[in-house]
């Protein structure tokens, strides 16, 4: 059972999504503002966060920025702001995926599972296989892990796929 931190100030939407995610074998923790989200993230260390951009007390963009400062936790942005510019900004700031509201709960679950499948945080690491080495770059594709000159690279799923 994967744990998900669901962050949105729309109480009705959160209840609906929480019920659906729980039926799909996710453990769901909920925050309705940015500050509470950061506190829960630090306490619970969920393998993935679903984050709205427009939140009280601390914006979703600021929450995303702070999550990225602290580590590699995957983040799926779920927001009413669905323009191309909003999506590009969210992805460039480090979101692993960006879904515009309204979306189906089924699509959200599929995207969460896809991110977790490709995340070293969200899956048990595969049996060891030899790394790929090109110059100072070392890749472990099964673990979706990369190093440059012996230092770990914090890459989003998209960045790793491009690499």
Q: For the chain, which residues make up each domain, given as ranges?
A: 2-117, 132-162
Block residue for tokens 């963009």: 61
Give the closest residue to 47 by CA, choosing from 113, 105, 108, 97: 113
Contact status, residue 62 vs residue 54, Cβ threshold 8 Å: no
Prediction pTM value: 0.71
Report how far apart, in Å, the C-alpha atoms of 48 and of each of 25, 34, 123, 131, 147 are. Answer: 14, 15, 11, 26, 22
The superfamily in CATH containing domain 2-117 is: Response regulator (3.40.50.2300)
- Would you give the DSSP letter of residue 141? G
What ranges in 58-156 are assigned the alpha helix state H?
Answer: 60-70, 84-92, 105-117
pLDDT tens-place values along the chain, 163 residues long:
689 999 999 999 999 999 999 999 999 999 999 999 999 999 998 999 999 988 999 999 999 999 988 888 899 999 887 677 777 877 888 899 999 888 889 999 999 999 998 875 544 434 456 788 899 998 877 667 788 998 888 877 667 777 7
């Amino acid at each position: 059972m994967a744990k998900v931190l669901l962050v949105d100030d729309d109480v009705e939407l959160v209840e609906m999504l929480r019920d659906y995610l729980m039926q799909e074998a996710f453990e769901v923790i909920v925050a309705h503002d940015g500050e509470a989200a950061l506190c829960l993230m630090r306490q619970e260390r969920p393998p993935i966060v679903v984050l709205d951009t427009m939140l009280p007390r601390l914006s979703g963009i600021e929450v995303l920025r702070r999550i990225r400062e602290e580590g590699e936790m995957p983040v799926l942005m779920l927001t009413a702001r669905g323009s191309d510019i909003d999506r590009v900004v969210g992805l460039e700031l480090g979101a692993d995926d960006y879904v515009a509201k309204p979306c189906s709960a089924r699509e959200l679950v599929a995207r969460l599972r896809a991110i977790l499948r490709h995340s070293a945080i969200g899956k048990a690491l595969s049996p060891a296989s030899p790394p790929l080495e090109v110059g100072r770059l070392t890749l472990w594709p099964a673990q979706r892990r990369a190093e440059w000159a012996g230092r770990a690279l914090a890459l989003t799923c998209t960045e790793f796929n491009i690499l």
